[in-house]
Chains A and B, each alone.
Chain A
Amino acid sequence: MTFDVAAIRKDFPILDRTVRGGKPLIYLDSANTSQKPRQVIDAMTEFYERYNANIHRATHELGEEATEAYEGARAKVAAFIGASEQSEVVFTKNVSEAINLVAYSLGNSGRIGAGDEIVVTEMEHHSNLVPWQLLCQRTGARLRWFSVTKDGRLDLGQAGDLINERTKVVAIAHQSNVLGTINPVSEIAARAHAAGALVLADAAQSVPHGLVDVSSLGADLVGFTGHKMCGPTGIGVLWARRQLLEELPPFLGGGEMIESVWMDHSTYAAPPHKFEAGTMPIAEAVGLGAAIDYLSDLDLTAARAHEQQLLGRALAALCDIEGVRILGPAGTADRGSALSFTVKGVHPHDISQVLDDAGVAVRAGHHCAWPLHRALGVQSSTRASFYLYNTMDEVEALADGIRTAQKFFGTR
Chain B
Amino acid sequence: MPGRDVESGVMQLESMYQEIILDHYRHPHHRGLREPFDAEVHHVNPTCGDEITLRVTVKDAGGEPAIADVSYDALGCSISQASASVLTDLVIGKPVSEALAVSDAFLDLMHSRDSEPDDEVLGDAVVFAGVAKYPARIKCALLGWMAWKDATARAVSSLEVED
Contact = CB atoms under 8 A, between A and B. Distances in A.
Interface of A: 17, 20-23, 347-350, 353-354, 357-358, 364-366, 370, 373, 379-380, 408-410
Interface stretch (B47-55, B60-68, B84-92, B118-126): B47-55
Contacts of A349: 48, 50, 76-79, 137, 140
Contact of B5 (A21, A347, A354): A21
B6 interface: yes
B97 interface: no
Given A21-B5, A370-B49, A380-B48, A350 B13 contact: no
Given A20-B5, A347-B76, A409-B78, A353 B50 contact: no
B2 interface: yes
Given A370-B49, A379-B50, A23 B78 contact: no
B36 interface: no
A357 B12 CA distance: 7
Nearest to A370: B49
Given A21-B5, A349-B79, A379-B49, 13 more contacts: A17-B2, A20-B5, A23-B9, A347-B77, A348-B77, A349-B137, A353-B13, A353-B137, A354-B13, A379-B50, A379-B75, A380-B49, A409-B22
Given A353-B13, A358-B9, A365 B78 contact: no
Nearest to B75: A379
Contact of B78 (A22, A350, A357): A350
Nearest to B45: A365
A20 to B, nearest CB: 6
Contact of A353 (B16, B22, B49): B16
Contacts, number: 59
Interface residues of B, number: 25
Given A347-B76, A349-B140, A409-B78, A365 B12 contact: no
20 contacts: A20-B9, A21-B5, A21-B6, A21-B12, A22-B8, A347-B76, A347-B77, A348-B48, A348-B77, A349-B48, A349-B79, A350-B79, A353-B137, A357-B9, A357-B12, A364-B48, A365-B47, A365-B49, A380-B48, A408-B13
B7 interface: yes
Contacts of B37: none
Contacts of B77: 347-350
Nearest to A365: B48
B9 A21 contact: yes
A347 B21 CA distance: 14
